[in-house]
Chains A and B, each alone.
Chain A
Amino acid sequence: MGRKLLTEHINVEGINTFEVYRKHGGYRSVEKALKTMTPDEVVEEVKKSGLRGRGGAGFPTGMKWSFLAKPEGVPRYLVCNADESEPGTFKDRQLMSKLPHLLIEGMITGSYALGARTSYIYIRGELLYVLRILEKAIAEAYAAGFLGKNILGSGYSLDLHVHPGAGAYICGEETALLESLEGKRGNPRNKPPFPAVQGLYARPTVVNNVETIAAVVPIVNEGGDEYAKLGVGKSTGTKLISACGHLNKPGIYEIELGVPVEEFIYSDEYCGGIWKGRDLKAVVAGGSSVPILPKELILKTAAGENRLMTYESLSDGGFVTGTMLGSGGFIAMDETTCIVKNTWNFSRFYHHESCGQCSPCREGTGWMEKVLHRLEHGHGSMHDIDLLVSVAKQIEGNTICPLGEAAAWPVAAAVRHFRHEFEWHVTNPKEATAPGAAYRGAPVLA
């Protein structure tokens, strides 16, 4: 069993209260940072730790923090992106509802490092009950003197607010999140300027995922070097993986980066294999927007090496034979799954969530959904399969924000690896649309 840095005490009775959390070593990082470290030293520790953003893109957090513009006399902000809405990803919800003080502790330490005097947690609108948990925890932290004016007598003051979204996936995109936080329509902004220069209220802002901010706590407690010892290569530390789909033990696992994918799926320590004794067909490794991979390619890379749960190993082979770690939404599909139906389902989601601001995504997501609907219901033609690839290509890279890519990648990857299955839907529409039908031919591997 690997080390658990974030979720060690997650099952302790009453850990969501300040007292119990404090008893289990909570808020040590705040004490350590505020009393013994300068803000730059905290940033330095985060840099040393090699921590990479846990929200999906995997950008080095220390580097992001050091990019923050620091003009004199202008407020800066740390914003926590808790708008977790990627299908397949549900790690932040659990972390916040069980360990609200861990996030608050990370927010205080992180805000201190960045010199922010006001910080925000932007939480997904559907998670109202979590918002209440967080608000209660924040009130406790204020009462205990960890938030508010002159924290622990250090002269540093911080106000922390929780703000709920109104239920839009696009508000998880950092600039759309900032727009929404400002009270506007959640449309992504054109970049540049980047949030590090002009973010919330046109002030320098850092936007980090919940898990990233929580990971600051063990980094400050144990030191960046110690944190960097966990993991493999540039993928350091631990990562929460929300495993779902046709697994014996779906759930949230904190893994040390570097666990082989095969071990993660089949060992009893983690997911315990595929349910009902069936065979694995495909895996979406990092939330619905990353490319889907067939069993053969998710367990081993194209070169025949074991695939590991790291940023590098999962993206080995680029998008031809690889995928991404993304936000850690691990969706496993057994042999009875219809890939066409699944792709249509994802596509429907992106069609519904596109903000409609830029034309390729607004029109393209709907188009792909309609073509996939046709294919899934047995009215498609061979020409439609190429059309899908073509439309996906027209969206990819030409949009304002990454939602366009998130919509295009899964479709392109599904056709790339499961083209036979799409063709089978065209040639055998009756069989393919029968209830419970599933194609069992071999996938395309490269």
Chain B
Amino acid sequence: MAKITFDGIEVEVPDGTTILNAARQIGGSVVPPAMCYYTPLKGSGGKCRACLVKVSAGSTKDPRPMPKLVASCITTVQDGMVVENTINQQVLDVRKGIVEMLLINHPLDCPVCDQAGECSLQDFAFEHGVSTTRYEEERRTFEKIDIGPLIQLHMTRCILCYRCVYTADQLTPERVHGVLGRGDASEIGTYIENIIDNEFSGNVIDVCPVGALTDKTFRFKQRVWFTKPVNAHRNCENEKCGGRVTLWYKGKDVLRVTARKDEYGEVKEWICNTCRFDKKETSDWVLEGPAHINRASVISANHYELPVVNPQVLADLPESTTRELERNPPLRLGGING
């Protein structure tokens, strides 16, 4: 076991845990953002640099700070390590720079993008970025490519996180890599088209943090925040598929089926293409109940009652907090604002 201090909070984790996963054990707002790291995908991480943190003491044995910021998703903890994330200005500045870099070649076509509302890049930019751009040049664009009849690749939106590449690697042993070209001209290549025969290929849609890989059976059907996620399962004929999914309802119609994701947007279990693309009737499924959606997410805005704050609790809050709540009410205040 290794004990580390993350943003002033002590946490004990098994040896070999990455800094990011240690922070996820703490949870909440101290967790560094991750755009490319994906726990189920071996080899992922280290690319987007969004999760850079400052290690101000390497370990008890060697308490020297690390000279550069390190990628928390691939750096393992050492006993006695002290890590600074949200309390370090340098980290926050660099993160702002990373948002800028990721956005300069991104089309910012959120209004017509199916991923909007559940897009990691949107969240990341909203939390850490600035509202203006200093980039005046033309953005990189690509033609849309159909990867089989069910998946569309829109490279223009891609942030080259390599997640789909690793997913494909995991699904089929014959494929070596899926990135062609280099630098800002690199693109997810045609090799990935070869995996479309695989019955689990649809999972590349779920792992994509942006709208580069989209479900052609759902494209332009509905904004995600007008749909309601419901967990469901079925006895899938495919023994490798657990059949545990999230159905996205609009009224009585199942518009989309996805794998279940945790709070960090990571898929717990891959689902097969039959479950994803073909089973779009409620009668195909055994419903379990509403899927948990982060309250801060725009998806939850249309479905859940805003929580009511007990005035009794409000009275005990420090004055600065009440003032802030009145000026900028995030919640419906029972008794006060009605």
Interface residues of A (CB under 8 A from B): 168, 170, 184-185, 190, 351-360, 362-367, 370, 387, 390, 393-394, 397-400
Contact = CB atoms under 8 A, between A and B. Distances in A.
A351 B184 CA distance: 8
Contacts of B52: 398
Interface string B33-77: 000000000000111111010000000000000001101001000
Interface of B: 45-50, 52, 68-69, 71, 74, 94, 97-98, 100-102, 104-105, 134-135, 137, 159-160, 162, 176-177, 179, 181-186
Contacts of A168: 182
B184 to A, nearest CB: 4
30 contacts: A170-B182, A184-B177, A185-B179, A353-B182, A353-B183, A354-B182, A354-B184, A355-B182, A355-B186, A356-B186, A358-B47, A358-B48, A359-B50, A359-B159, A359-B160, A360-B98, A362-B101, A363-B102, A364-B101, A365-B183, A366-B184, A367-B104, A367-B135, A387-B134, A394-B94, A397-B68, A397-B69, A398-B69, A399-B49, A400-B71
Given A190-B45, A363-B104, A366-B183, 8 more contacts: A190-B46, A353-B183, A354-B184, A355-B183, A356-B184, A357-B160, A360-B98, A398-B52
A364 B185 CA distance: 13
A363 B49 contact: no
Which of A170, A354, A358, A397 has the most CB atoms of chain B within a 10 A radius of its CB?
Answer: A358
Nearest to B95: A398
Contacts of A360: 49, 97-98, 101
Contacts of B47: 357-359, 400
A362 to B, nearest CB: 5
A183 B97 CA distance: 34
A185 B177 contact: yes
User: Ordered nearest first, which 5 A-B pairs have the shortest CB separation?
Assistant: A394-B97, A356-B186, A354-B183, A190-B46, A363-B101
Contacts of B183: 351-356, 362, 365-366
A71 B104 CA distance: 47
B160 A394 contact: no
B69 A363 contact: no
Contacts of A387: 134
B251 to A, nearest CB: 40
B315 to A, nearest CB: 46
Nearest to A399: B49
Given A184-B176, A190-B45, A397-B69, A356 B181 contact: yes
Contacts of B160: 356-357, 359, 362
Nearest to B35: A359
Contacts of B182: 168, 170, 353-356
B68 to A, nearest CB: 5
Contacts of B135: 367
Contacts of B137: 367, 370
Nearest to B162: A357
B266 to A, nearest CB: 19
Contacts of A358: 46-49
B55 to A, nearest CB: 13
A360 B162 CA distance: 15
Nearest to A403: B183
A344 to B, nearest CB: 14
A406 to B, nearest CB: 14
A355 B97 CA distance: 19
Contact of A190 (B69, B71, B94): B71
Contacts of B71: 190, 400
A359 B102 contact: yes
A370 B105 CA distance: 13
A364 B102 CA distance: 10
Contacts of B179: 185, 356
Contacts of B176: 184-185
A103 B98 CA distance: 43
Nearest to A190: B46
B168 to A, nearest CB: 14
A414 B36 CA distance: 33
A197 to B, nearest CB: 13
Nearest to B75: A192
A393 B101 CA distance: 12
A359 B104 CA distance: 11
B85 to A, nearest CB: 15
B46 A400 contact: yes
Which of A168, A363, A400 has the most CB atoms of chain B within a 10 A radius of its CB?
Answer: A363
Contact of A356 (B48, B49, B98, B185): B185
A187 to B, nearest CB: 8
A357 B184 CA distance: 9
Which of B48, B50, B134 has the most CB atoms of chain A within a 10 A radius of its CB?
Answer: B134
